[in-house]
Structure 1
Amino acid sequence: MNSGKLNKIPVSKISEQSRNGIVFRYIFNNEQVTTIDHVHQDDYYMFILLEEGEYRACIDFNEYKLNGLSIAFISPGQIHFITGYKNVTGYVIGVDTVLINHTFKEVFEKVSVSGNLIVPDIETFENLKSCLSVLHKKIQSRNDILEQNLVYALVSSFIGLVAEMYHNDNLGSLNKRSAIITHQFRKLLSNSYQTVKSPSQYASKLNLSLSYLNEVVKETTNLTVSQCIQNEIILQAKRLLFYTNMTIKEIAYELGFEDHTYFTRLFTKVAGISPTKFKVNYRQ
C-alpha cells in the first residue's frame, strides 16, 4: 500500500481502456486474468463468465468464489480486487454504463442486496457462451460500421441474458410493487446518505408512511430501512478506511457526521469492529 497521502480511491475508467466502451478478454489457463493489480473502483460494469477453474475476488468486503460454471458482475463504484485464481478459463467483459439498457441496469441495482454471484443452468450457460464466442470473433475482425454495430448488439444480448437470469433468480418470488419501491429507496439512499440519515425522511421523500416503507424494504431485503441506511454509510466508510489515508475524523465529516465519536460508535456497532481496527486489519 502506498504510504503517501491518499484521499481518493483510484477509479479505472473505460475511456482509458477502450474507444468504443467495451473491454473484452478471453482468459485461457490463467492468461490475461487481470490487467489491473491494485484495489480500485471501475466507472463501468464488469461481467465475469467462468468456464473452468477457480476465481476468487473481494467485492465491497464480501468474498466471492467462482468455481466451474459461474457468473459474477461488478457494478460501477464497487471496490474490488482478485484474491486468487487457479486454472481459469472464461471471459471478462467491461461495458460502459451508457451502452447498457436502463431496464437491465435496474435489475443489477435491485439484486445487489443478494449478491453479485450466480450459477447458471447448463442451457443458459451455453447460450451465454455462444454469444460471447461470436462476440470474440467479431471484436477481433471488425472493420466497418456494420460490424461495430453488430458488436454492440451482441454485447446488449449478452447483458440482457445475464439480467434475465438474475431477475428470475432473485426477484421472481417478490411482490413487484415492493421490488420497485425498494429500488427507488436504494437509489435515493445511494445519492443522499451523506445528508439524509433519518428513515422518516426517506419515507417522506418517497411519499410513503415509514411503517409501509419498512414493510416493503423488509420483505425485499430482510433489513429495516434504518439498517439499510446504516449499512450504506458503513460500506462507504469501509471503502475510505481501506484505501485512503483520511483520518477517522475526516471520514466522519466526509460522510456527514459532525460528531466523529458518534460515527465511531455507529461503525463499531454495525461492523462489529472499530474503524481503527478495521483499517489495521484490512491494510496489513
Structure 2
Amino acid sequence: MKHLNIPHFGLYGESSWINDPEFFHIEDIESRSGDLGWKINPHRHAQLFQILILKAGEVNVQLDAEQYRLRGAWAIIVPAGVVHGFRFAPETDGRVISIAEPLLEDVYKEKSAKFIQPLLSQACYIDFNAHRTVFSELWPLIQQLERESAIIREGRALMSEYLIKAILLLLHRQQANDAVTNTNKTELSQAQQLKELIEKHYREHWTSHQYAEKLNTSISRLNRLSKTAFNQSTLELIHDRVLLEAKRSLIYTARSVEEISYDLGFKDPGYFSRFFKRSTGVPPGKFRALSNQPAI
C-alpha cells in the first residue's frame, strides 16, 4: 500500500521548502483560509516555527490528537513538526507568523535564550482575553512586522529580526505570568535539555539512566526535576513522546501497525501493540478506527 504521509509544507499549500535561513512570513488569517472556507487541514512544517495571533473571532484548533476551541485574543504556538489544523469562524481577525528555525538559532546563544527557548519547545496557548493591556503592547509589534515585510528598505531583515524577538519576549512574559512553577533557573534549563534529548532519542528507546548520564545527574534527581517541571516522571515523559508519534501516524497516515512499530524503534509489533493498549486502553487498530472521523 502506498504510504499516505502527513503533509509537510513550507507554507500551507506550498509543497516546496523555502531554503532561506533568514526567512520569515506574516499574513492575515483570511488571506490563506478565506478562500478555503476558513479551514486549514491538518499538516505540519519540518523547519518552520509558527505563531498565530488571534485578535478577535473564534477558531477550532487541532494540535496532534487534541482539539480546542478558542475565542477572542489568543496566541497559539506551533513548533516545527507538530501536526496542526484550524477552522476559523468567518471574519476572524488575526495574523500568522512563520519563522525559519535557523533564524532562531542565534537566539540560543544570546541573553534572550533563557526567555525565548522554553517558548519554542512545545505547542501551547497563551490567553490575552483578561490581559488586554498586554495585548495592546503586542499588536503594534505585529503591525510593524507586517510593514517591514511589505516594504523593501534599508535594514529590513535586521528590524524584522528585532521585532520577532520582541514579540517572542512579550509572549514569554504573558506565559510566565499565567504559569505557577517552583523550579529555579538551573532546574528549568535542565528540564528543557531533558525535553530536547527525548525529542532526539525517543525512537532509540533510551533508558532513564542514559538520559541522566547525558545530563550528568542521578536518576532520582532527574525524576524529581521532571516531576517538578512537567508533573511526570522521566519514564512517563519518554513513553508519552513515543505515544504521541504513534498517535500521529495512526491518525494521519495509512501505514500499517507493523510499519509504525518498526519506525518507532520496536523490534516486536506485538510488544508495540501491548505498550499502546496499556497506555491508551485500546489497541492501535481500534484507536485508528475510533479516530477515523472528519477532522475539524
Asked if these proteins are the same fold (TM beyond 0.5), I'd say yes
Counterpart residue type for residue 118 of structure 1: I
Matching residue of 2:43: 40
Give the distance between the partners of 1:133 and 1:106, measured in 2 at CA: 24
Distance 1:207 1:149, change over 3 A: closer
Counterpart residue type for residue 280 of structure 1: A
1:241 aligns with 2:245: no
Give the distance between the partners of 2:182 and 2:220, measured in 1 at CA: 22
Task: Note the C-alpha offset of 1:108.
Answer: 1.7
Give the distance between the partners of 1:87 and 1:181, measured in 2 at CA: 43
Task: Note the C-alpha offset of 1:122.
Answer: 1.4
Matching residue of 1:132: 142
Aligned length: 275
Matching residue of 1:199: 208
Pairs within 5 Å for 1:34-183: 37-42=40-45, 43-100=47-104, 101-102=107-108, 103=113, 105-109=116-120, 112=122, 116-120=124-128, 121-140=131-150, 142-170=151-179, 173-183=182-192
Please give the root-mean-square deviation of Cα atoms over the aligned residues, in Å: 2.4
Counterpart residue type for residue 224 of structure 1: S
1:104-158 CA deviation, whole Å, 9 max, x = no partner? 5522245x3xx61011311210111011112222322x22332343233222322
- Relative to the length of structure 2, the TM-score reads 0.84
Gaps of 5+ in 2: none
Counterpart residue type for residue 154 of structure 1: L
- Relative to the length of structure 1, the TM-score reads 0.87
Counterpart residue type for residue 21 of structure 1: F
Distance 1:105 1:8, change over 3 A: farther
Say which is worse superposed, 186-195 or 95-104, in terms of deviation: 95-104
Is contact 2:53-2:96 (8 Å) kept? yes
Counterpart residue type for residue 58 of structure 1: Q
Aligned with residue 23 of structure 2, among 21, 24, 40: 21
Is contact 1:178-1:219 (8 Å) kept? no
Gaps of 5+ in 1: none
Counterpart residue type for residue 23 of structure 1: H
Q: What is the DSSP-based 3-state SS (H/G/I as helix, E as strand, rest coil) of the residue aligned with 1:145? A: coil
Distance 1:95 1:109, change over 3 A: closer
Give the distance between the partners of 2:273 and 2:54, measured in 1 at CA: 40
Aligned with residue 11 of structure 1, among 8, 20, 34: 8
Q: What is the DSSP-based 3-state SS (H/G/I as helix, E as strand, rest coil) of the residue aligned with 2:119? A: helix
Task: Note the C-alpha offset of 1:18.
Answer: 8.6
Give the distance between the partners of 2:51 and 2:167, measured in 1 at CA: 10
Say which is worse superposed, 120-129 or 161-170, in terms of deviation: 161-170
Give the distance between the partners of 2:182 and 2:173, measured in 1 at CA: 14
Task: Note the C-alpha offset of 1:195.
Answer: 1.1
Give the distance between the partners of 1:145 and 1:283, measured in 2 at CA: 51
Give the distance between the partners of 1:105 and 1:8, measured in 2 at CA: 31
Task: Note the C-alpha offset of 1:257.
Answer: 0.7
Percent identity over the alignment is 25
Counterpart residue type for residue 32 of structure 2: Q
Q: What is the DSSP-based 3-state SS (H/G/I as helix, E as strand, rest coil) of the residue aligned with 2:81? A: coil
Give the distance between the partners of 1:205 and 1:237, measured in 2 at CA: 25
Give the distance between the partners of 2:144 and 2:212, measured in 1 at CA: 47
Pairs within 5 Å for 1:252-267: 252-267=261-276
Counterpart residue type for residue 70 of structure 1: W
Q: What is the DSSP-based 3-state SS (H/G/I as helix, E as strand, rest coil) of the residue aligned with 2:41? A: coil
